[in-house]
Structure formats: structure tokens, C-alpha cells
Structure 1
């Protein structure tokens, strides 16, 4: 199953793991029946050995008990099962006459099996701790890149869902953010080419530049130029370090919500999927990616053009990465994003609300792919608030 990271709205946390569980890897989190499995195995072997004749002695099978415990229990529990297995072996074997006893050889087998099982349990627990530590690092990295946004940030109601295709990595190159400022609120949604920490580093670099430029720069075109320059500088830096990602680029959509024109949205599209305006009257696509992705401006003359598009107060902008548009089912069919959204909004106009819309698309993609995603997936929805009670305080 993929890994989820959600926020910015009323969406429920899907697979967030509480920190107290991360710090207790030896617990099976309520799976008492699993921990009791070695005990049941011990009881079964004991009863079977006592109820069968001397021609079917299986008391030495007790060596399976600590081996089973090593797979599901902690170190001390496994060691306890090893000791209990030895005691049980001696007690059961003494019930039989001398000529039918398993003897010292099988006793040493059970003792050695218990010792090895305890060592195996210690190695497994150590690996679990390392894995959980790496997941904590990945979660911290994700929270740094995809920072938590306040409710109704910058006069916008918003919701977002990020689904990492790699459950172990938990991070990828998808990114989004909202930055209010004295020249209006700006929004950036993008997808860095490739995966891994290199893509995460690139996304962090772009977001850092966006947060500064979107606040200070008057014109959205200047913000776009700053992003292009940052992408070029970052790529040259990586090349100088000998990293093999000199051709890395990023598709992105840069949006501006001017304060003096509440019925218009400014848009610069760097080769990204076009945003969808979703409202009670249906679904319409905003201008498509008529420019090259960030990092490829040297192939053309400058950044993509700026579009000013009418946007109704009741319309929500839906932005997705190619993890949504390229999601396939078992038959190879792509996820029908526009028809699914249009059908949902037609049935209930309230589904155009950001958190409902994101949940609908997220669940639809997971159903369509049966939970098997080939790429990181981001769903982000925003719309203007009619009133923003915290806007004045945030601007100050």
C-alpha cells in the first residue's frame, strides 16, 4: 500500500503513525494473538507428544517455538520462550521411560535453537529500529518540504493529499505551497522529474525561492523568473558536485490571486497538467502547459506567458500531478479525472468544496489502481474565501 500524507483542510489522517508507536517497535500494537502463537505451538507439541506412542516422539519439535517467537516477539520475550522450551522439553521427556527418551542430543538442539532464535530476534529488532528511524527522518523531510499550512491561509480555503508511491521512501518530488504577501496570495504546485532524495532536494530549493519571491516580488512573471533561475543554479550546483542529475527539471503551475481583482486568477504554466476550475456549473480546464518545465528555459526565449483567467467565487481550482492523470487500472485504462469530477459535482455541487474534492479524487485514484501507484501522486484544491477573519492579522 502507498503511503499517505495529508493536511490543509478537513481531510482525515489516513496512515499517520503516532510518535509513541514509533518509539516502541517491540510492541505488536495489540496483536496479542500473534505474540501468543509460540505459546500455542508449545502447548500443541507437548500434548501431541504425550498423546502419541513411543513410535512418534516429537518433543524435539519444541525448537520451533523460540524460532517462531523470534519472528513476532521482542528479544526478552523470545529468550523467555527459549528457556520455557528447554524446561518443557526436560519435563516432557522425563515422562517417558529411559529407553524412549529423546536424550541429550535433542536437548542440545533445543538449547542451541533457543540461543540462535534470541540472536535473530535481536537482529530483527535492531533492523526495525533503524527502519523506523529512517521513516522518522523521511517524515521530517516531508514535513519540511510540504509544510503544514494554516486554515484559510492567504484568503484561500485549501486541501491537499500527497501519496508516495514508495511506501519505504515516503517522500518524493511532488510539492505545493501557498504564500500570502503584500501583492496578493501566490500558489505553487509542481512535480520534479525523477525520484529519491535528489528530487526532494530540488523541490525544497524551489519552494524556498518561491516563499521569498512570492512575498516580495510585485509581478508574478518575476516570481517565475526567480524560480527558473533557482532551478538552473541548483542544477549547476549538482553537476559541480558530480551528481548525475544534470538533466533534472520540474513541471509546475504558478498561480496568483490579486487582491484588487477577486474574480481573476493569474496563471503561469511550466509544462504541468492544466488546473481544473470545478464549480456548480461543471468542470473547465484552465490554460495548458504552453511553456517548458523549470530548468529548460535555455531551450526557448524566456519563461511561459502569463494568463489572466476569470474565476468565480464558487469555483475551486483542482491541481494534480501526473500520478493522477497517468494512473492506470489492470486493463491499462487511465483514470478518468474530468468525467469523474464532473459527475460528482453534478450529483452534488457541495463536492466542489476543496476537502470534498480532494478526498473524491484521492479515493478514486486508489480505487482505479487498486492501491498500486507507479508514481507519487498529489491532489491539491484551493478557492477564495468570501471572508478571511485571520487575513489582516496574518499580514501584519
Structure 2
């Protein structure tokens, strides 16, 4: 997979970059960085020097050495525990030295020294509490990252003969993964691709997505016919719903829309598609865009409502060598701007004037973020694939 560089927004942009080394908040708080180093300690130092200089250069009517009590407090907010402790000691020593330089009648005296010392101790304790909260936050982030990489596993570049790029935008600025899912599964019967969106949010949607992806990874490899893979997905969704209901959870009506694609070996100019109530993919080429036929099947988990049981029909669609399939979830098609206008996906894909998956995904992603001003109302997945010349 070619990673698409992320731009800042209110949405959380997820890619498959290698996880960063977890930093111990007791040692440093990365507030300001330059050339890979943190300079958060500079702010309390400047404040300490400024208060000392002003107190020494003004008259006795403007004694501000007691303001040095702010120094350990600022350090507690942006520095580590040991740095805060150092500033607490420096503040007390600096107060004692500067105050002793004044005549006795102008000295701030012992009460203010006790105030500065006590404030330093409180600042160290506050920094310890803050550092503990940050450690817990980092631990929870690690858990969320592990969950994300389990559900949305990293895909290597050119995986299974497909040039692909994908971006996941979480509407929740805290959550790292939601109900959107995608995967590519090569096998002896060709390469299968699954992109979908579980109805609802929260852990229930993540569990359903994980269940569907697990079934897809097995069935997509072993089953010869794409229709059989589709049937296995429908059965898995029903089984998952039955389990959650038995556990007493309100997931009995959960469903998922999805697009299941099959690239058969020896057929470079065609793709098989089963559409479970999802928006049809777009076939994008540098000269234009065409929409694939809309799916007439019901979402996964609702197959029991049809009179004739079975998955939706499998369509075989011609696909030119310079066409890229663009599959998005409803976070793109239902994205609205301040005036309530939907994001024009087809027009924006035409303006991209490229069939390169990475460039196409980046163009759509940036367009959605501009259209919504970064305020996404739903999780969003943008997935683009095309065949490569290599098998």
C-alpha cells in the first residue's frame, strides 16, 4: 500500500505507518519540538529569568519576586516530573538569593518564601498526577492502535497484483477505528476485495466489522465462486447478530453494506462484483468517470427478508486497463457542507484527472475535508484499486 499523507483536520486520519515509540511523560512532554528535541523546559526558564531581572532592576515599590511562584506551576503543566522538581528548587533558591540582596526593610520575607516552597511541592505533586494520566492515556491509545491494526490490517504495496491506496477518517476525534472495514485477500481462485460499512457506531460496530473480515479472509481464499463468499458473509452476519442478542445486547437489527469484488486470474479486463446495498464503485480514468451498475441486493444481515434466499447476484463488469475502481463509504457520499449540500463525489473524481490510486484517494480525502471543514458526521473510508502488470 502506498500511504496517503495526511493533512491536519478535526477528523482523525488513520494510515498504516509504523507506531511511534511510546514516550514516558515523566521525562518529557513534547510541547515544542525542534530537530527532534523538546524545548518545553525553556518557557519556565525564561519566566524565572524575567521575574528575577525585573525585580532587580526596579525600585522597592515594584517588588515582584513573589511571582516566581508561577515558575514551578508552568513547569508542572508542560514539563516532566524531574524538570518540575528542579524548577521548584531553583525558584526557592532564586527567591532567597534575590530577596537577600535588598535592604531588610524592603525584603518580602519568610512568609513569601514559605509560599514559594509550598507551591513548588504542590507543582511536583500535580505533575506526578498529570504524568500518571498521560501514561494511562498512552496505554489506552496503544490498545486502540492494536485493535485498529487487527481490524484494518496493513496491506503491502502491490498486494496480490493490485495497486491500491486507502484512507480511513474517523468522525470521532478520540476513537481510532469504527465500523468501516476493508481488506484484500489473494487466493488460488483470484484476488478478492471487500469494502463496507457496519450500521451504527461504537464497539458493537467494530465487533461486527471484525467478524465479517475474519470470514472474508478465510472464504475469500478457499472458495472458488464469489457467490459462495458472499453467502458466507451473509451467514456470518446473521450468526454474529444472534450471538450479540443472546448476550443481551441490543444488536438484533444491525446490518452492513458492502461491495465484494473478485479479480479472476487470466481475466485482466473484467471484475466480478456483489453489491450488498452499498454505493456502487466508480471506474475512474484520466479522461473521465463512470459509475458501475448499482447493486440490487440487501445489506448483509437482511438477506432473510427476500423471498428467494441467497446472496445478491454476481455481476461481471468490463474494466479497462487504465481504470481505477474507487469505493467509498457513506461518510463521503453523505458529507455535507455548511449549506447542507452533499459532497459531489463523481464531479470531484473527474477533476482529479488521474487513475493513480494514491493521488485519487488524496484528492477525494482533501475534497471531503474542505467540503465539511474537517467536521465529519460519519466514519469515512476511501479505497482505490487497479490491476498491476505484475501478477
Please report the TM-score for the alignment, with normalisation by the length of structure 1: 0.89
Residue 319 of structure 1 corresponds to which residue in structure 2? Answer: 327
2:15 corresponds, among 6, 28, 41, to 6
In the TM superposition, 1:257-272 aligns within 5 A as: 257-272=263-278
CA distance in 2, matches of 1:281, 1:87: 73
Runs of 4+ with >6 A deviation: none
Which residue does the alignment assign to 2:390?
387
1:40, 1:170 → 2: CA distance? 38
> Residue in 2 aligned with 1:354?
357
Contact 1:135 / 1:168 at 8 angstroms: preserved in 2? no
What secondary structure sits across from 2:137 in the alignment? helix
Match of 2:378 in 1: 375
Of 47, 65, 68, the residue aligned with 1:62 is 68
Shift of residue 182 of structure 1? 1.9
* 8 Å Cα contact 1:164-1:170 kept in structure 2: yes
Once the 2 structures are TM-superposed, how far is the Cα of residue 280 of structure 1 from its aligned partner?
A: 3.5
- Indicate yes or no: 2:134 matched with 1:131: no
Partner of 2:197: 191
Question: What is the CA-CA distance between 1:88 and the residue it aligns to?
Answer: 0.8
Q: What corresponds to 1:307 in structure 2?
A: 315
- The match for 1:344 is 352
- Pairwise mapping of residues 234-313 of structure 1 onto structure 2 (< 5 A)? 234-301=240-307, 302=309, 303-313=311-321
CA deviations on 1:225-247 (whole Å, 9 max, x unpaired) are 11111111111111222223332
Mapped partners of 1:57, 1:331: distance in 2: 56
CA positional deviation for 1:341: 1.1
Q: CA deviation at 1:17?
A: 5.3
Larger displacement relative to structure 2 (146-155 or 37-46): 146-155
The one of 323, 329, 332 aligned to 2:337: 329
Aligned residues: 374
Q: Unmatched 5+ residue regions in structure 1?
A: 8-12, 346-350, 389-396
Q: CA deviation at 1:260?
A: 4.3
Partners of 1:40 and 1:152 in 2: CA distance: 52
**Matched position secondary structure for 2:117:** helix
Which whole-Å deviations, capped at 9, do the CAs of 1:249-270 have from their partners, x for residues lacking one? Answer: 1111111122243322111111
> Quick one: structure 1 residues 255 and 55, their matched pair in 2 at CA, closer, same or farther if it must change by over 3 Å?
same
The answer as to whether partners of 2:29 and 2:78 remain within 8 angstroms in 1 is no
Deviation, 1:103, is 1.8
Using the TM superposition, name which of 324-333 and 131-140 deviates more: 324-333
| Contact residue 313 and residue 386 of structure 1 kept, 8 A | no
Residues 1:159 and 2:159 are matched in the alignment: no
TM-superposed CA distance for 1:27, in Å, is 4.2
Unaligned 5+ runs, structure 2: 1-9
Secondary structure of 1:138's aligned partner: helix
